[in-house]
Amino acid sequence: MSVRETLAGSPDVRRTNLAVLLRHLHLDGAMRRAELTDRSGLTRSTVAGLVGELGRLGAVEQTAASTTSTAGTPTRGRPSPVVRPCPLGVQVLAAEVRVDQVEVALVGLGGTVLHRDSRPLPDPSPEPTADLVARSVADLAHAAPGRVLGLGVAVPGVTRHRDGAVRFAPNLSWRDVSFGRMLSDRLPGTDVRVVNDGDAGVLAEHLRGVARGCDDVVFVEGEVGVGSGVVVDGKPLVGAGGYAGELGHIAVAGLGGRRCRCGSDGCWETEIGLDAVARALGLGPDASRRAVVDALRTAGDEEVRRLEPVARHLGAGLATVVNIFNPSLVVLGGLLRELYPCVAAEVRRTMVRGALAAPVEQVRLALPELGDDAVLLGAAEAVWQRVLLDPVAALGG
Amino acid sequence: MSVRETLAGSPDVRRTNLAVLLRHLHLDGAMRRAELTDRSGLTRSTVAGLVGELGRLGAVEQTAASTTSTAGTPTRGRPSPVVRPCPLGVQVLAAEVRVDQVEVALVGLGGTVLHRDSRPLPDPSPEPTADLVARSVADLAHAAPGRVLGLGVAVPGVTRHRDGAVRFAPNLSWRDVSFGRMLSDRLPGTDVRVVNDGDAGVLAEHLRGVARGCDDVVFVEGEVGVGSGVVVDGKPLVGAGGYAGELGHIAVAGLGGRRCRCGSDGCWETEIGLDAVARALGLGPDASRRAVVDALRTAGDEEVRRLEPVARHLGAGLATVVNIFNPSLVVLGGLLRELYPCVAAEVRRTMVRGALAAPVEQVRLALPELGDDAVLLGAAEAVWQRVLLDPVAALGG
């Protein structure tokens, strides 16, 4: 008899067990109650009781099992009902602030995107941005079919873990913006969590994307700047204040590099960000993201040759990442999804040359499975993670 | 009644509780049994039984309490006996392989160094090194007053976690050396753990030194190369294969930097290691460590000025470390203990300029509290950590 089972009747253990079951359902979707029993190591009757409680909280539903298994063969004995998360029962709001637009979504339990909207951000200064985010998510919340448990917002900046203050977002020109409080003021009663965009991206890819099952993952997203997030031993890298994992400002070009918006020289983001790619392609400094993506998708030999310096800086930064984190997977998101396939050989050559042999032979480079949704889904997960810690408290059961 | 208490009678929980008590005693030394009771949250009678069992295993001893408290004032009620770890009862062996010498020690429970020896290493190739380490620790084991539970060896190289193979130790000219197996062959029946020197250093400073109580710590040791280790959220950074935390090969000098023994250019260790410091001081490429230390200790204005480029590269690397890990503490060991005080202002200036404001305002730079013993004590802790996971299994109780 397991420790967990022995105390299944005590209120604390019951809450913990509810959380365990809900986590399985949120991350892996519908499954037979028998499988939940196997995974949790609890007894059948305990699981039946807990699933009933999650049903009363509106989080899951059970459907009578058919007498054939999912593989179509007849099952033996009494068939086990199928339990599934209820995306229409409980939801969270998610937002992603980009340099020129705001993405918002209503995400149901299980990670289902129920609604999604993209709005242009003509003025990215803090007050108008907070207004636009608050207005957009309020519209979604108004139309939500179930209970809305909170709002997760991803921003392209250095964000304090404790209160969601954005300490520095060079590409929005923000410095010390109490963005979490600004949103809470506009959305009374809503639990707001503000997170770094790279941290959101790695969380989503780790829980639901290409990095599933990998314990040591680095996510690098190239846009105007370079966002990044790291999972170490299965957990997000946070640091003393929540600022860890900022890879955009590692030095890759030495003292001769370009001046970065952070004040230093030769940072990774000045050498592989949107401007650097546009410059390499000869598109001029004001090229839109759209134009750069189109040029990358249609790149021929001449363009690939012109991208070589960018590829080398991407590889050099990856070498540092590999030496420091010894990750099993590096996920290349944002603009790098388009750039990397063009110049993969040169990137890998530079990375292998610059990194130590032992860690570089363990690393795989991959594109995000969630595509452009990684950051938005990760912002939602920042709220779900809190809900899953104690579903009874979050759902008011 | 706590979960732990409810099941105090079950064998698994008993082993876990023994481990909890022994960890307190190993890391914090002698204390009253009443304090162990407070810290563990167990009942007085449970703690008394467990301490008795640890005593029978030879790990701790109890002394009848005096009727005055440690503060000298009379205590009320029946005084609580004092429990202390038994360094003479159980020990581990520790070794540190350096470029030209081997340090060995016999370390008792509680971290007490019982014997210590330093032997020159005229030929640092693998077989002679393994011979010297094995002979040296066998001498110590022979004279050990208690039971010897294993050997921890720190090496200046990239070391595989699983089996202690040294994949690459550029300053020993080792590549793919099965050092763990070579030592096991020479010391039959001894549990051997081979770890990276920086990983050992950060572990010791985190458990017993200046980084005690800090959850996010980076240890940087400048010698011929730069060793390093990282603690993230209270746990050692390991990575997919045990290679993580290698900071000596982050690029700080860009493409114009010196060729590093790793094959890349402008690595941190080529710019702040022994050779770089000797060169800056005008001591020539063959200067001994001793000569460099003496020159640093007596450095005047002229020497400090000559060290400025080294100081700037130290600061630039620290900026990257700060951006990536957001540590609350960076410990500067080895030669940096002598270098940093000479050039602290320039190092800090470069670090602050190169790092993001949010993480840099949270970081403190410090010298190791354990001095030159950090790596050796950390090698011992690599064995103690295994013992503390399950003292009953390790002590054969």
Please report the residues numbered 71 through 130 in chain A whose beta carbons come closer than 8 angstroms to any beta carbon of chain B.
none
pLDDT tens column, B276-322: 999 999 998 789 999 999 999 999 999 999 999 999 999 999 999 99
- In contact, B390 and B15? CB cutoff 8 Å: yes
Partners of residue A353 in chain B, C-beta under 8 Å: 263-264
Q: Is A1 on the interface with B (CB under 8 A)?
A: no
Q: Detail the DSSP E strand segments found in chain B.
A: 31-32, 60-63, 82-85, 90-97, 101-108, 112-120, 147-155, 158-159, 166-169, 174-177, 192-196, 217-222, 226-232, 235-236, 329-334, 364-366
Nearest to A323 among B216, B249, B354 (CB): B249
Residue B354 has pLDDT above 70, yes or no: yes
Contact B160 A255 (CB under 8 A): no
Of chain B residues 277-316, which have a CB less than 8 A from chain A?
A: 316
d(CA B394, CA B376): 21
Of 1.10.10.10, 3.40.190.170, 2.60.40.1120, 3.40.309.10, the CATH number of B3-85 is 1.10.10.10
| Lookup: tokens for A385 | 């993670």
Q: What is the pLDDT of residue B1?
A: 38
For the CA atoms of B235, B240, B245, B251, what is the dihedral angle to 10 degrees?
A: -150
Rounded distance between C-alpha atoms, residue B392 and residue B387, angstroms: 8
So what's the pLDDT on residue B5? 44
Sign for the pseudo-dihedral over CA of A335, A338, A342, A347: positive
Return the residue in B178, B259, B325 with the most chain A beta carbons within 10 A, the one to mutate for interface testing.
B325
Residue A6's pLDDT is 45
Count of alpha carbons within 13 angstroms of residue B342, beta-carbon side: 29
Whole-number Å distance between alpha carbons of B393 and B147: 14
Best probe of the B interface among A194, A356, A362, A365, by most B CBs < 10 A, is A356
pLDDT at residue B7 in the model = 44
Query: What's at A19, amino acid-wise?
Result: A
Tokens of B274: 């022994």
Question: Testing the interface with B: which of A176, A258, A312, A324 to mutate, by most B Cβ within 10 A?
Answer: A324
Rounded-to-integer distance, Cα B59 and Cα B65, Å = 19
Q: CATH 3.30.420.40 spans which residues of chain B?
A: 90-200+375-395, 210-368
Contact A357, B283 (CB under 8 A): no
The pLDDT assigned to B6 comes to 45
Write down the CATH superfamily of domain B90-200+375-395.
ATPase, nucleotide binding domain (3.30.420.40)
With b for 16 or more beta-carbon neighbours within 10 A and e for fewer, the B257-282 pattern comes to: beebbbebbbbbbbbbbbbbbbbbbe
* Residue B204, pLDDT score: 97
pLDDT score for A76:
59
Tell me the ipTM for this assembly: 0.88
Q: What is the mean pLDDT of residues B204-227?
A: 95
CB B205 within 8 Å of CB B368: yes
Contacts of B244 in chain A (CB under 8 A): 216, 232, 324-326, 359
Would you place residue B14 in the very low, low, confident or very high pLDDT band (cuts 50, 70, 90)?
confident
Interior/surface letters B283-298, b for 16+ CB within 10 angstroms, e for the rest: beeebebeebbebbee
pLDDT of residue B257: 78
Residue with tokens 């099993």: A328
Give me chain B's average pLDDT, please.
91
CB contact under 8 A, A257 and B254: yes
Check B216 against A244: CB less than 8 A apart: yes
Q: Which has more confidence, A265 or B167?
A: B167
pLDDT at position B2 = 42
| Strand duo B90-97 + B147-155: pairing | parallel
Residue in B240, B251, B358 nearest the CB of A216: B240
State the DSSP H helix or E strand holding residue A267, giving kind and residue range, or none if neither: none
pLDDT for B81-99, tens place per residue?
Answer: 999 999 999 999 999 999 8
| List of chain A residues with pLDDT < 50 | 1-8
Q: Which residues numbered 334-363 in B keep a CB inside 8 Å of some CB on A?
A: 353-359, 362-363
Q: What are the start and end residues of each CATH 1.10.10.10 domain in chain B?
A: 3-85
In b/e form, how buried is each residue of A122-134, taking b as 16+ CB within 10 angstroms? Answer: eebebeebbebbb
Query: What is the identity of the amino acid at A246?
Result: E
Nearest to A233 among B215, B235, B263 (CB): B235
Name the fold adopted by A210-368: Nucleotidyltransferase; domain 5 (3.30.420)
The Cα angle at residue A280 between residues A276 and A284, in degrees rounded to 5:
80
Residue A120 is inside which H or E element, if any? strand A112-120
Nearest chain A residue to B267, by CA: A354
